[in-house]
Structure formats: C-alpha cells, structure tokens
Amino acid sequence: MASTTALAEPSGLLAVPMRLIRSFGPKLCAFLADAYANKITFAGLMIIVVWTGLAISAPVLAPYDPLYVDVDSRLSPPSRDHLFGTDELGRDVLSRVLHGSRISLPMCVLTISMALLIGGGLGVFAGFIGGWFDELVMRVGDVVLAFPTVILAMAIVAALGSGLINVLIAIVAVWWPRYARVMRGQVLMVRENLYIMAARSVGLPSSRIILRHVLPNCFAPALVQFTMDLGTGLVLLAGLSFIGLGALPPNPEWGAMIRMGHTYFSSWWIATAAGLAITSVVLGFTLLGDGLRDILDPRLR
C-alpha cells in the first residue's frame, strides 16, 4: 500500500497544480452549488459562460466576415440584413462584436494572469524571505502604485509603440504590485502558524514549504482579486484601444470599435454594440468574483 501511495503522489512540476486542484476542488464544488442557489452569482457565471461560448463559436455564428468591406451599405442602421447595423466601411457590426470577443476576452485574461503570476510570485517570496528582497519588491511596487494606473499604462504604450503586445506589457507592468501586496500580506500571516514552524523544524527546504504549505493557504484572496480584476483589465484594454494605443485596424477589438463609433457619433449602433458587450462581461466578472469571495472566505458565509 505504501508503494502504491508513493506512486500516486505527483512529483516535479505536476505537483503544484495537483495540490492546488486538491485544495480548491471541494471549494469549487461548493461554489458551483451555491452559485446555482444564488441567482446573482449564477447570472454572473452564465454571462461568462455565454461569452466564452460566443467567442469560441464566433466563426460559425457571425453572419458575415468581420473584415468584409461593403461601401454601398456603410453606416446602415440595424435591419434584418444587419441586426446591429454596419460601420463606416460597411462591415457588419454584429460579426465584428462576435469576433472582437476572440481578441478582448483572451487578452484581458492573459494580461491579468501574467500580473498575478509575476506579482503573486514576488509577493510570496518577499513575505516568506523578508529582508532586503522584501524591501526592494515593496518599494518598487510603491513607486508603480504612486502613478495613476491609466496614465502610467498610456506612457508605457506610448514609449513602446501601439499594438496589443505592448498593451499587454503595459498592463502587466502597472498591475503586478496589487497581487504582490495581497500575497505578501497573506504570507506574513501564514508563515507564523505552527505547521510552518514545524515544517522548518524538521528541516524542510523553503521551496517545499512554500509550494506545499504556504501557497495553498494564501491563494484564495488572490484568486478573488483576479476574478474581479478581469473586468477592470478589460476596461483598461478597451480604453487604450479607444485612444489609439491598442489594437490596430482592421482588428475588430471592442475598444477600437467604440472609437469608431465616437467618430461617427450619429451612427449610435457602432459604439453601443461594443459598449454593451464590455458592460455585460464586466458585470459577469464582478458578480462571479463576489460570489467566489463568499465561497472561499468562510467568515462571509
């Protein structure tokens, strides 16, 4: 039996995600059950699920090619042929909104995920190791947080040049201190617990203590913050595209579509369609994050 258990225990790089899955598996089941009972949380979850499905199946659901130009139909209002109307080049707005979800949603998830990975990792090591490394990470984070998020992101993109890759770099650069502070605070509370002291007393290496004992007990607040930051990250991404620093034409990104709608203000349907898409996704992430917080924090149950 002992050998079977040893073989079943994951090792190496697979050990960390497996431990996180085992740690959050029961909580995830409880969250899904409570989300179904709580109509608000369930609505947020369904919004995200629906938009994920639309993004995946956009090439099938879109009635037209999002890049197809039909000058004769330019700025046409909503009709049976074009449910959301057409833009300044006669491109179908509904098709561009659907295909835009394949840009905006993955980009916001990727940027906030990278900020969580970088900032969370620095925060864990800063809180656990302490000393000069802790001071260095926190002071650099203070410098970044001293500037308004949007202004600093604009400055970075302006220095690097327009484009989605540079927008990703800019958002990660201004967002990582948030997760560094959250994870550092959690580690400072956890590292004084008796089981951490016991692990140190038996000579376990710091890397094993962090991966096996510290990280699973500190990740819940960062996960809630991550879920709610996805909506904010989407707005920031759209805002940078709106001022011309994000997605480049003819990419059907939601912020760029709102920019075009602003240029042709009388054609209200261009900006309205993309704006409603952003609003619904942000609402979904906010409701989902609020429900996730209630599940992962027993003090709020």
Closest by Cα among 149, 139, 152, 138 to 182:
138
Mean pLDDT, the chain, whole residue set: 83
Of the candidates 217, 211, 207, the one whose C-alpha atom is nearest the C-alpha of residue 14 is 211
What six digits make up the tokens of 66? 């999002």
CATH architecture of residue range(s) 31-300: Orthogonal Bundle (1.10)
pLDDT for 60:
92
What is the spatial distance between Cα 295 and Cα 157, in angstroms, rounded to a whole number?
A: 37
CA distances, 166 to each of 158, 162, 170, 236, 240 (Å) = 9, 7, 6, 13, 11
| pLDDT value for 137 | 92
pLDDT of residue 6: 41
pLDDT in tens, 57-100: 999 999 999 988 888 888 888 988 888 999 888 899 999 999 99
Question: Where in the chain are the domains?
Answer: 31-300
Distance CA 245, CA 236 (A): 11
Which tokens sit at 44?
Answer: 């947020």
39: pLDDT strictly greater than 80: no
Q: pLDDT (tens digit, 9 = 90+) per residue, 100-152?
A: 999 999 999 999 999 999 999 899 888 888 889 989 999 999 999 999 989 99
- Residues 211-239 have pLDDT tens digits of 777 777 777 788 888 988 999 999 999 99
What pTM was estimated for this model as a whole? 0.82
Q: How do residues 174-217 score in pLDDT, each as one tens digit?
A: 999 999 999 998 888 887 777 777 777 777 776 777 777 777 77
181: phi then psi, degrees, rounded to nearest 5: -70, -40
